[in-house]
Amino acid sequence: MSSTDYIKPGQKLEIPPSDGVIIEVSRGDTVASLAKKYNANEQAIADFNWLDYPFELVQGQTLFIPDGKMPAPPQPTYAATPSFYVSNQYTSASASASTGDPNVGRFISWPVAGGAGVISQYYRPWHRAIDIASKALPNVTAAAPGTVIFAGCSGYCPPLGSTYGGSGYAWSIQIDHGNGYTTWYAHLKNIYVRSGQSVARGEAIGQMGSTGRSTGPHVHFELRRGVGFGSQVNPLGYSNW
C-alpha cells in the first residue's frame, strides 16, 4: 500500500507493532538473507521473533522484520537517478538519550575490555538493551562497581567455553550496583565470577560469546531499575560513553 491507497470496508489489515514489515518465509530464506533483503539487522529479527540458535526458518512462517524496508521496485531503464536506501536503523535519535535519573547520573562505563566492540543494536521498545559486538570475543567488564547477584545460565546453555548454542539469554551475569540499579550481561562464552563476589569498575567478569538467542558474538547489555526482568531502562541515559 502507498499513502494514496484507499482502505476499503471489510478489508483486513495487519498493523506491525513498530516500524518494519511483516513477511512470509519463502523456501531458502535465512535470517541473514532476510536482513539483507529488507535492509535490517539479523539480531533484531531473532530478538523480536524469539528465534533461537541455529535460527532455522520454516517455509510459510510469518516473521516481523523490525525497521525493515520493502525493496524498492526496479527502476525503468531510462531513469537518470539511481535508487538508494536511507536506513534510520542507527540514527542519532536511536543512539541518544538524556540522563534518566539525576540521583545516580551517568555512572556506567563501557562494558567491554579495552574499549573493544561496536554497538550493533540500540535500545528499542522491543529490545530493551544495548548490543555490543566484536568478532574477537574480548572480555566483558563490570560497567560499575558492585556485587554479583547472578552468574549462571538463564535459558538453555551449552557447556561453558562454547561460543554458540543454547536459547534465551544463555550464560549471563547480573551485578547490583547498590544505587537501586543492576546491570545484566548475556550471551557469554565464559564466566569468571560467582554470585556474592564484589567487583570493581572495569574488572573482567566474563568473555563475550554468542550463546543463546544470538546471531553473532556480542554482549547483550541491560540496565535495570531494580532486579527483575521488565524493569530495563536505556543504558545510554546513564552512561559516560
Q: Same structural domain for residues 114 and 232?
A: yes
**What CA–CA distance (Å, rounded) separates 65 from 45?**
6
Q: Same structural domain for residues 128 and 214?
A: yes
Q: Same structural domain for residues 220 and 117?
A: yes
Q: Same structural domain for residues 43 and 137?
A: no
Q: Same structural domain for residues 29 and 125?
A: no
Q: What CATH number does the domain containing 62 carry?
A: 3.10.350.10
User: For position 77, what pLDDT does the model report?
Assistant: 52
Q: Same structural domain for residues 60 and 111?
A: no
Q: What CATH number does the domain containing 182 carry?
A: 2.70.70.10
- Write out the E strands in the chain: 20-24, 62-66, 118-121, 130-133, 139-141, 146-156, 164-165, 167-176, 181-186, 188-191, 198-199, 204-208, 210-211, 218-225, 232-233
* Residues constituting the chain: 241
**The residue to which cell 562497581 is assigned:** 145
pLDDT above 50 for 7: yes
Query: What pairing do the DSSP bridges indicate for beta strands 62-66 and 118-121?
Result: unpaired
Q: Same structural domain for residues 24 and 131?
A: no
DSSP state of 17: S
pLDDT above 70 for 65: yes
Q: Is residue 93 part of a domain?
A: no
- Give bridge partners of residue 22 from the DSSP assignment: 64
Q: Same structural domain for residues 154 and 224?
A: yes
In the chain, where does DSSP find H-type helix?
31-37, 42-48, 92-95
**What CA–CA distance (Å, rounded) separates 237 from 241?**
10
Mean pLDDT of the chain: 89
Query: What does the block give as the cell for 138?
Result: 574480548
**Residue 39 — pLDDT band, cuts 50, 70, 90?**
very high
Q: Same structural domain for residues 140 and 211?
A: yes
Which pTM was predicted? 0.79
**Residue 79 — pLDDT band, cuts 50, 70, 90?**
very low
pLDDT above 80 for 130: yes
Q: Is residue 232 part of a domain?
A: yes
**Residue 68 — pLDDT band, cuts 50, 70, 90?**
very high
Q: Same structural domain for residues 122 and 183?
A: yes
Query: Using an 8 Å Cβ cutoff, are 117 and 139 in contact?
Result: no
Q: Is residue 12 part of a domain?
A: no
Select the more confidently predicted residue: 45 or 72.
45
> Which whole number is the average pLDDT over 4-20?
85
Q: Is residue 97 part of a domain?
A: no
Q: Same structural domain for residues 59 and 111?
A: no
First to last CA, the chain: 41
pLDDT above 60 for 94: no
Q: In terms of Cα–Cα distance, which of 218, 154, 131, 167 is closest to 53?
A: 167
Count of domains for the chain: 2
Q: Is residue 83 part of a domain?
A: no
What is the domain extent for residue 135?
A: 106-237
Q: Is residue 14 part of a domain?
A: no
pLDDT above 90 for 84: no
The model's pLDDT over 148-198, given as tens digits with 9 standing for 90+, comes to 999 999 999 999 999 999 999 999 999 999 999 999 999 999 999 999 999
The model's pLDDT over 213-227, given as tens digits with 9 standing for 90+, comes to 999 999 999 999 999
- CA angle at residue 56 from 55 to 59, to 5 degrees? 135
Select the more confidently predicted residue: 81 or 68.
68
| Residue finishing a domain among 47, 66, 85 | 66
Torsion angle in degrees (nearest 10) through CA of 130, 134, 139, 141 = -20
